[in-house]
Structure 1
Amino acid sequence: MIIREFNPSDLKRVFEIEKASFKDPYPLGVLKMMYDIGAGFLVAQKNNNVVGYIIFWIQKNNEGHIISLAVDEKYRRQGIGTRLVNSAIKILKKFNVKEVSLEVRKSNKVAIKFYKALGFKKEGVVHKYYDDGEDALVMKKYL
């Protein structure tokens, strides 16, 4: 398995993974826009097939932010998500980023446990963050 930069030919597959992974997936156009504006965008590839991705960027105050992370259900629990997050953090560190944040559904216990295992800690709550009214936990990792 390799982690590499996203290229536009990956878009359809990334969108398939996005739709299968999230209750309120980003539209195809938003994913393309993330690439177009220069957000960090990595994919995990196994046997010439994209099996996961991460999108991230640097916000004001030099803070990294993970926008989206997903792994095809058939490839979960194989360390792919961990490799994607660690690869993104490695890139962010090159830009002197000192902390990385993300939002996760309060009900997504699996994701919360995953991020905690990577050293992220709960920092707060954003009420009614998601379209269906669910709150998001803000998690942060200091580098």
Structure 2
Amino acid sequence: MFIRNADQNDLTAITSLLEQLFSIEADFDFDAEKHQAALTHIIQETDCACIVAANNQNQVIGVCTAQWVYSTATGNKSAWIEDMVIDQAYRGQGIGQKLLNHIIEWCQQAGCGRAQLVYDLENTAAIEFYRKQDFKKTQLGVFSIPLHISNS
């Protein structure tokens, strides 16, 4: 098993992993077409975004994404880590830690002074995993509002 940057050839496998993730996250609905479009943008935006994949015998078994923004709070770049998921058949083998280490290394190389993520409040396995990786819970909550964009 090794960790590498994902590419366009991985879209189908990554989308399948996202289906597993979104099946346990109440705030998101699975839509393969939308997810693949977003993944394509992330793959192409290598200066501000990254997708890493865990590969085992030519099969993508895990994925994690990160994108950075400028943070006025820290005065430098801050990374948002998202879409961390390991195929159910491979969980509990340390793959998530390797993926996260790889994506954090990318964040550091991109000049990010902080990495943050959101998690489903009922995903106790994820909460425990991130705590073990030294992520600290903050006092910040998350609000979301859907924005309607035109395609013109």
The one-letter amino acid paired with 1:126 is V
Select the residue among 32, 50, 69 that pairs with 2:40. Answer: 32
- Give, in angstroms, the shift of residue 130 of structure 1: 9.0
Tell me if the contact between 1:21 and 1:72 (Cα under 8 Å) persists in the aligned partners. Answer: no
Residue ranges of structure 2 left out of the alignment (5+ in a row):
72-76, 147-152
| TM-score, with structure 2 as normaliser | 0.78
Q: How does 1:102-141 map to 2 (within 5 A)?
A: 102-123=117-138, 124-127=140-143, 129=144
Cα distance in 1 for partners of 2:101, 2:8 equals 23
Cα distance in 2 for partners of 1:46, 1:80 equals 10
- Does 2:53 align with 1:43? yes
Cα RMSD after superposing both structures: 1.8
Percent identity of equivalent pairs: 25
Q: How does 1:4-83 map to 2 (within 5 A)?
A: 4-23=4-23, 24=28, 25=30, 27-38=35-46, 39-61=49-71, 62-83=77-98
* Number of matched pairs: 130
Other-structure match for 2:102: 87
The one-letter amino acid paired with 1:4 is R
| TM-score, with structure 1 as normaliser | 0.83
State the Cα deviation string for residues 74-118 of structure 1 (Å, max 9, x = none): 001111111001011112112332210001111111111110100
Tell me if the contact between 2:53 and 2:62 (Cα under 8 Å) persists in the aligned partners. Answer: yes
- Does 2:106 align with 1:98? no
State the Cα deviation string for residues 42-86 of structure 1 (Å, max 9, x = none): 100011111001110111131111021111100011111110010
Question: Where is the strand percentage greater, Structure 1 or Structure 2?
Answer: 1
**Which is bigger in relative contact order (C-alpha 8 A, separation at least 6)?**
2
